[in-house]
Structure formats: structure tokens, C-alpha cells
């Protein structure tokens, strides 16, 4: 089966750096997405990693190690508006078409 | 702006009364997805269309059906909603060519009374 794990909750201080980890065990793995979801809203795309290594995009960076089944999302210079759920999702190749399998999300709370 | 639109944003139905949720897109994407997301849980894929080809997830209840009359529109039909079907229903699209991002609509929050 497909298994994706990430911490349930994290708390960090405004202006700080936080790393949200994600581990996965999936078949047909073809990449790793990170999405941000504010309460009651749809997920919005943050990053996509298909190769090993670090992808940097402004304050957000994402890392992937396929051999270890591991990814992380790094958020720098935290702002209050970054308080949200962060969803890790594995991009899976299947016979019926490609699809995303989501983790349960990490609820990040940014405090003053 | 190209986008994914879901109507209505909030839907209330009665136990056992059929309900239809709609999704439209102006992105001209080949693939449309329906997810169910319950509180504090991950979005769970129900099914998706690649063009007109329907792909049902193995654990999606028969109570959930979908229609895609054309590229732009996709519907989720819940034939006999139960209390356990109360959730946020998310529609997403992707171009379907290679590795690509899914674009989500704002979701429809379904309440079952």
C-alpha cells in the first residue's frame, strides 16, 4: 500500500526557520509535491521535486531523497500568514493514470 | 484568469437526498479529479477522468458517481448521502502530460442533516 507520514503539528516563531519532514513508502513513486492549505480553503501548490536535491523558491525550499523515501519543506523568515496546514503528496504512476496520494498534513502555527 | 470553479461553495442536503456538486475549469486540462477531505484528514482521491476515460479508486463507495459531459465540466453525484459523507469536496485539474501540478478549486463543503 501507500504510506506517507508527516508530523501532525508544529509551532514556530515569526522570523524563524522551520523544517517540515515527510517520509513515504509507495510503489510507482514519480515525485513529491508540497501544498499549503489554509483552514477551509483549497490546497495551493508550493513545490515539486522529482530528482534528488534541494529546490529553492523564495522563502520556501523543498528537498527530496528518493533512496531514503524522505522529503522536507523548509520555510524561512516565517510570517504569521504562514500558519496553515502543509500537505506532502506523492505523485504515483498507476495503470489507471497518475495520481497524488496525500499525507494527513502538518498544521503549522506561527507565533509572535 | 484561468481557474477551477466549484459551485456551490456550501451545500446542505438531507440524509438520503441525492446531491450534485459541480466543477468547471477554464484551463483546458485533460484530467479532472474529485477528492473528499474530512476535517483534519488528507484529501482522499475518489476518482478522476483522463479526457473521457473514467478511473475509479478501488475504495470509493458506489454511492459516489461522476459525470464529465465535456472538457470543461465535471460533476460529483452522491446518490444517497449519509452523515459520514459530510466533508469538503475538492475538484482539481492537471494537464495530464508528464509530471505536473494539480490545480485545485475552492471546494464545496457538504453538510448532511
pLDDT digits (tens, 9 = 90+) for A64-110: 999 999 999 999 999 999 999 999 999 988 766 678 899 999 999 99
Give the distance, in angstroms, between the CA of residue B45 and the centroid of all CA atoms in the same chain. Answer: 9
Q: Which helix (H) or strand (E) holds A49?
A: strand A44-49
- C-alpha B65/C-alpha A37 separation (Å) is 26
Q: Is B111 on the interface with A (CB under 8 A)?
A: no
Are the Cβ atoms of B102 and A100 closer than 8 angstroms? yes
pLDDT tens-digit readout, B36-49: 999 888 899 999 99
A100: nearest Cα among B23, B43, B58? B43
**Residue among A36, A29, A5 at smallest CA distance from A99:** A29
pLDDT at B99 over 80: no
Chain A residue whose CA is closest to B95: A98
Residue predicted with more confidence, B72 or B2: B72
Rounded to 5 degrees, φ, ψ at A80 are -60, -35
Q: Do A87 and B90 touch (CB under 8 A)?
A: no
Cα(B34)–Cα(A97) distance, rounded to whole angstroms? 14
Amino acid at each position: 500500500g501507500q504510506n506517507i507520514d508527516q508530523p501532525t503539528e508544529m509551532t514556530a516563531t515569526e522570523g524563524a526557520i522551520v523544517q517540515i519532514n515527510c517520509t513515504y513508502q509507495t510503489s510507482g513513486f514519480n515525485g513529491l509535491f508540497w501544498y499549503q492549505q489554509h483552514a477551509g480553503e483549497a490546497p495551493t501548490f508550493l513545490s515539486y521535486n522529482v530528482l534528488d536535491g534541494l529546490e529553492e523558491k523564495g522563502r520556501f525550499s523543498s528537498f527530496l531523497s528518493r533512496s531514503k523515501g524522505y522529503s522536507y519543506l523548509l520555510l524561512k523568515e516565517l510570517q504569521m500568514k504562514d500558519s496553515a496546514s502543509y500537505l506532502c503528496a506523492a505523485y504515483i504512476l498507476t495503470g489507471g493514470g497518475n495520481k497524488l496520494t496525500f499525507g494527513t498534513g502538518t498544521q503549522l502555527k506561527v507565533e509572535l | 484568469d484561468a481557474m477551477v470553479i466549484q459551485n456551490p461553495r456550501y451545500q446542505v442536503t438531507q440524509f438520503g437526498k441525492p446531491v450534485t456538486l459541480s466543477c468547471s475549469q477554464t484551463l483546458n486540462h485533460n484530467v479532472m479529479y474529485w477528492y473528499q477531505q474530512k476535517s483534519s484528514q488528507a484529501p482522499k482521491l475518489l476518482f478522476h477522468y483522463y479526457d473521457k476515460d473514467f478511473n475509479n479508486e478501488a475504495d470509493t463507495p458506489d454511492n459516489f458517481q461522476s459525470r464529465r459531459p465535456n472538457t470543461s465540466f465535471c460533476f460529483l453525484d452522491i446518490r444517497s448521502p449519509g452523515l459520514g459523507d459530510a466533508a469538503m469536496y475538492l475538484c482539481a485539474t492537471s494537464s495530464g502530460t508528464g509530471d505536473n501540478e494539480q490545480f485545485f478549486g475552492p471546494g464545496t463543503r457538504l453538510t448532511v442533516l
